[in-house]
Structure 1
Amino acid sequence: MELWRALRLDLAPETPHVVSFVGGGGKSTALFRLARELVAQGSRVIVTTTTHLGVAQTQGYAGLLCLAEGEGPPADGIADRLVAHGQCLLVGPRVGAKWRGLTAGQFQALWTVARALAVTAILVEADGSRGLPVKAPASHEPVVPPMTTLLVPVAGLDGVGAPVDGDHVHRPEQVRKLLGLDAGMSARLTPAQLARLLVHPAGGARHRPPTARLLPLLNKADDICRLVLGRLTAACLLRLGQASLVAAVAQEEEPVLERWAPWAAIVLAAGEGRRMGRPKQLVPVDGEPMVARAVGTVLAAGPSAVLVVTGAHGEQVQAALASWQAVAGTSLRLVPNPRWAEGQASSMRAGLLALDEAIQAALFLPVDQPLLSSRLLRQMYRCWQAGAPLVTPRVDGQIRGAPALFDRALWPELLAVQGDVGGREVLRRHQHQAATIPVQPEELQDVDTPEDLARLR
């Protein structure tokens, strides 16, 4: 997956994105990779630093512009480089082997220039780590511009399992302090500790502006061992409610291997059951009401949240789910849809509007597919993790519309759907982007009528 997509950067923002990279383990590589990707999309990009940037890292870099001491960002010079190269690398005076970073006043002026020049993003190296994979900031670090819209703490996965000492970690004494490690004892960094460090308000989230998103980048997952360590760290972050990316930004292939984020399953259980002649949500299959069976299946798939949209038989559905609510607690919620009679689209909207802002993908499933497996639902989530914006089952080469998983970027289209068609129209428009999973037709069998139920038994 491309980095700009994984970071959820709009290519036509009203004001420029300001993406600040902090931490260690490949900040500069990620910064320059993102710049190339955005330029390839036809966007204008300014790359800069608020600390220092190695001269060797910028050799041969198209669009370099060096400011003199105290000089403000020249709009004409930046514009010339944007026209010629799509990007401008703006740095301060050279001091030895490094370029100095922009001052607060220079960055404020740059922000104004960038807005006037219709720049898509300003990418900022806002921290230093002396080439080490993991760090904790000192009191004066990082230098995060207050206009930052996305803060990206970077860590190299080669730091996981390494000793917490000066040979492997920048500012090891501060890392130990933040993690509560005894200064006199030997210690190796665990995935859980790295996760805590990346989101700690005095660690990876230090100086985060109040409105900025936080998205850790777990870099150097360039072999199977590091990929596993990245997954373990990402799972720890997810338990903290934090999304993250597992990546290898130096590789030629697309850099983001997996995205980890909270996701939800939405069970559509609001219908009247007219064709069944009774509430089909409550019809038992193997001794269990279909709605309870559906909830058990999705809970076993491991989503961050499960929503059941109710309607015609809301009180009875709630009673049927009492035991699951006792087990699942707040991760299971019932969402009443007073407009259920308008069709399935109204239930989709009710479910989407009830989701927490942290949820990045929603899996919809009808209540009347009792043979669905949690294995299939987990496979669908894994396809989304790998970058698919839309995931559906496939039977004999044909895409099926339920269950279906939609990335958050597609939710505005789902919210606009009307009637009793569900997400089929959105699926049709984006089927070329869909990842599909082959399944046997029996697993997707609908139970809409007494005859369907008899065949099932």
Structure 2
Amino acid sequence: MTNVAGLLLAAGEGARFGRPKALVEFGGQLLVERGLRLLTAGGCAPVHVVLGAAYDEILATADLADATTVVRNDAWPTGLGSSLRAGLASMPPDVGAVVIALVDQPLVTATAVERLRAAYAAGAVAAVATYGEHPRHPVLLARAVWKDIAELATGDAGARGFLRSRPDLVTKVPCDDVGSAADIDTPDDLATLRDDTAADS
């Protein structure tokens, strides 16, 4: 199985932000739209998005044409882990690996996704984008480790516990030169990223 799928986790309510971050506008797009296009442009297929909070509003508001499948996670209040489990379980059997992206990191680029796919093609079981040598998202996970990851994905813990427990399986993929893993947790974070993006343009 060589197909590499994309999985966008976008189910949270954005408690610190004040509303679901999937519906936040950045660079002329909603963050959920931007995340889907990131995975599509990076060569992932199919692309699934996990929604939870504001599910109906997102479906009515956002352009989800880049999503092959929308996965509803009613357990989203329990944390990120439930969304990761739901997303992995939704993948068709011909998918050999999945690239996982978070909805609140709008400066991640398609080139980072392409580099993770290249690492998988070269034999990586788990590939992690790094920025300043720090592991962040996106993350690629081969199907061989999905079961173990799902068992550890509880609360707000996604794949981190598994990756830390099996460093021998992790391939680090430097992405400093092709974007940033800066995330948006608060309105101040959003304002800062907008200012930085405007200054660079």
Query: TM-score scaled to structure 2, two decimals?
Result: 0.90
Shift of 1:439: 2.3
Q: Which residue of 1 aligns with 2:198?
A: none
Query: After TM superposition, what 4+ stretches of structure 1 lie above 4 angstroms from structure 2?
Result: none
Residues 13, 53 of structure 2: 8 Å contact kept = yes
Q: Deviations over 1:323-373 (max 9, x none)?
A: x42xx4xx6110000100111010011001111011110111110000111
Aligned residues: 192
Report the alpha carbon displacement of residue 319 of structure 1 after superposing the two structures with TM.
2.6
Identify the structure with bigger relative contact order (alpha carbons < 8 Å, sequence gap 6+).
2
TM-superposed CA distance for 1:311, in Å, is: 0.2
Residue equivalent to 2:59? 318
The answer as to whether partners of 2:23 and 2:62 remain within 8 angstroms in 1 is no
- Counterpart position of 1:434: 170
Matches within 5 A, 1:178-197: none
**Contact 2:23–2:58 (CA under 8 A) maintained in structure 1:** yes
* Correspondence 1:383-402 to 2 at 5 A: 383-398=119-134, 400-402=135-137
Of the three residues 151, 158, 178, the one matched with 1:416 is 151
For 1:451 and 1:440, the matched residues in 2 are separated by: 23
The structural deviation recorded for 1:303 is: 1.4
User: Secondary structure at 2:180's aligned position in 1?
Assistant: helix
CA contact (8 A) 1:401 1:427 kept: no
Partner of 2:197: none
Match of residue 262 from structure 1: 3
1:9-408 alignment runs, 5 A limit: 243=1, 261-322=2-63, 324-325=64-65, 328=66, 332-398=68-134, 400-408=135-143
Q: Which residue of 2 aligns with 1:42?
A: none
CA distance in 1, matches of 2:61, 2:72: 15
Which residue matches 1:443?
180
Q: Provide the C-alpha distance between the structure 2 equivalents of 1:318 and 1:430, rounded to a whole number of angstroms.
A: 37
Any idea what the Cα deviations from partners look like across 1:154-199, whole Å, max 9, x if unmatched? Answer: xxxxxxxxxxxxxxxxxxxxxxxxxxxxxxxxxxxxxxxxxxxxxx
Task: Give the AA of the match of 2:80.
Answer: Q
**Letter of the 1:414 counterpart:** I
Match of 1:455 in 2: 192
Where does structure 2 lack aligned partners over 5 or more consecutive residues? 195-201
Which structure: larger Rg? Answer: 1
Counterpart position of 1:26: none
TM superposition shift of 1:285: 0.4
User: SS in structure 2 opposite 1:383?
Assistant: helix
Counting aligned pairs with the same residue, the percent is 34
For the residues of structure 1 that align with 2:31 and 2:73, how far apart are their CA atoms? 19
Conserved 8 A contact 1:348-1:414: no
> Once superposed, what is the RMSD of the aligned Cα atoms?
1.5
Residue number in structure 1 paired with 2:199? none
Describe the shift of the 1:420–1:348 C-alpha distance in structure 2 as closer, same or farther (beyond 3 A): same
Structure 1 position 312, deviation (Å): 0.7
TM-score, normalization: structure 1?
Answer: 0.41
Q: Which residue of 2 aligns with 1:425?
A: 161
Residues 377 and 320 (structure 1 numbering): CA distance in 2 closer, same or farther, change over 3 Å?
Answer: farther
In structure 1, distance between residues paired with 2:38 and 2:127: 18
- In the alignment, the residues of structure 1 paired with residue 19 and residue 62 of structure 2 have an alpha-carbon distance, to the nearest angstrom, of 18
- Which structure features the higher share of helix residues? 2
Q: CA deviation at 1:395?
A: 2.2
Contact kept in structure 2, 1:310 and 1:334, CA below 8 Å: yes
Quick one: distance in 2 between partners of 1:357 and 1:446?
Answer: 32
SS in 2 for 1:264: strand
Shift of 1:291: 0.5
Cα distance change of structure 1 residues 395 and 401 upon mapping to structure 2, 3 Å threshold: closer
